[in-house]
Structure 1
């Protein structure tokens, strides 16, 4: 193996070989729902309960979300590819055709998802062109009958189906 000389596009393609779940990170900001999609979500610690995801350092959405006291993390379901594209877009109103509900804390959750996590920003770590946001868990709601959306090689896929999944390209 030689030292890495790949372009950002080649690295994105290489990193895409790691299948991952997709989450929506959402909250009320100024009384309106604001949210973003992230495929870099991971559990970090049980004591204290921490999770993390990565956001581009240039993300205006993360800049708005990081200011609020409570964030809702919704693990997207296998039928949420269109919703994920909307949340990943640069559209001003990503919630125009999206059902959502806000908790008393201002955390926003999406119905029909696998899991809801209510969180608060614990810390941030600069990591190249991204920031790793570490969130402290405040509460959970599980929906075990719902199957997760999986992102792999630039496509949304279904987990563990016995038939080949209908591959949907992630770019809009």
Structure 2
């Protein structure tokens, strides 16, 4: 077996597109958020979603301390929002329009959809954490193309080529 090559790992997995979301929470110091590309549905009963933050993330530690969060699915035109919230430190929310959910988490303006959650569980996942959130509320804001990360760049979904004949499981 050859030694593990992290660059090859990233290159190969970069050929699989991922949606771009912002996980937000309202802390005592104001709104905070982090960009994630590892968001997925996890369960219908009970309704659970999941994402994988880097275990070194100081933003995640603040969100975990609140115990609730909102997943904001970015629209394909929201590159600037992604860039602003992906940076480290400073006031990430300067110039980012949002409102609060009934659960108190920031919902970003002009997102495709949002999913408001409470932290259900956090599990070790190597250099990341596996976070399960119990869905409290959710809504489609603007049914449009989501922001997608693919091969090191951002883009949008061009449209459905063929309707799915069976749900993805």
**Structure 2 length-normalised TM:** 0.88
Report what 1:29 is aligned to.
27
Report what 2:4 is aligned to.
5
Distance in 2 (alpha carbons) for counterparts of 1:145 and 1:125: 32
The alpha-carbon deviation at position 70 of structure 1 amounts to 2.3
Choose from 92, 104, 107 the match for 1:106: 104
**Which string of whole-angstrom CA distances, capped at 9 and with x for unpartnered residues, describes residues 94-130 of structure 1?**
1012111112422111011111111011001111100
Q: Which residues of 2 match residues 33-72 of structure 1 at below 5 A?
A: 33-72=31-70
Distance in 1 (alpha carbons) for counterparts of 2:155 and 2:84: 17
Secondary structure (helix, strand or coil) at the match of 1:67 reads helix
Distance in 1 (alpha carbons) for counterparts of 2:3 and 2:149: 24
Distance in 2 (alpha carbons) for counterparts of 1:63 and 1:31: 13
Is contact 2:110–2:142 with CA below 8 Å preserved after alignment? no
Distance in 2 (alpha carbons) for counterparts of 1:151 and 1:105: 29
Distance in 2 (alpha carbons) for counterparts of 1:81 and 1:10: 26
The alpha-carbon deviation at position 144 of structure 1 amounts to 4.9
Going from structure 1 to structure 2, the CA distance change for 1:108 and 1:13 (only over 3 Å counts) comes to: same
Going from structure 1 to structure 2, the CA distance change for 1:17 and 1:4 (only over 3 Å counts) comes to: farther
Unaligned regions of 5+ residues in structure 2, if any? Answer: 160-169
The alpha-carbon deviation at position 35 of structure 1 amounts to 0.3
Distance in 2 (alpha carbons) for counterparts of 1:102 and 1:31: 15
Unaligned regions of 5+ residues in structure 1, if any? Answer: 162-172
Distance in 2 (alpha carbons) for counterparts of 1:113 and 1:29: 21
| Structure 1 residue ranges, 4+ long, deviating more than 6 angstroms after superposition | none
Report what 1:167 is aligned to.
none
Is contact 1:100–1:108 with CA below 8 Å preserved after alignment? yes
Distance in 1 (alpha carbons) for counterparts of 2:152 and 2:131: 23
Report what 2:93 is aligned to.
95
